[in-house]
Amino acid sequence: MKFGFKFEKILGLKEKLEDNKKNEMAIISNSIRDLESEISKMEEMKRERYDMLEEILMSGASITDIKKLSYSIECSDVSIERLQQKLSSLRESFNYKKTEYLEVMKERKSFEKLKEKHIDEFKHIIKLKEEKALDQINTFRIRGTS
């Protein structure tokens, strides 16, 4: 007698879906790390420009140079803000994917528990059949020796 789990295909699909969600989370997580690194670099550039601005203000630079550097700092602020919004969006997306992943994982575990239950029931049925067969053999032996 061979065991067959009637929901095996569904369990397989849940496992594949879980792997897909995990991969999607990894991709978003890598994007988040890359974006955080980019923001950090932009903030460092902005600090360097502030330092340059302080230096040229102390040295008595021209208004044009001061305006250029101030404009560059403002552009950095805009870029950083845009990147932070993108980062926020990615984090929301990651949280959504994480929720989806946890739900799929929960569903997969439910099917695995159901499969384990079916396996236990199958083993129990096999054991009962074996016991019945042994009883029949013993009955034939007793009849044969009488």
Q: Which CATH class is domain 8-145?
A: mainly alpha
Is residue 127 helix, strand or coil? helix
Report how far residue 41's alpha carbon sits from residue 47's, in angstroms, rounded to the nearest whole number: 10
Report how far residue 68's alpha carbon sits from residue 61's, in angstroms, rounded to the nearest whole number: 11
Report how far residue 119's alpha carbon sits from residue 125's, in angstroms, rounded to the nearest whole number: 10
Report how far residue 120's alpha carbon sits from residue 126's, in angstroms, rounded to the nearest whole number: 10
Report how far residue 82's alpha carbon sits from residue 20's, in angstroms, rounded to the nearest whole number: 29
| 29-55 confidence digits (pLDDT tens) | 999 999 999 999 999 999 999 999 898
% of the chain residues with pLDDT over 70: 97
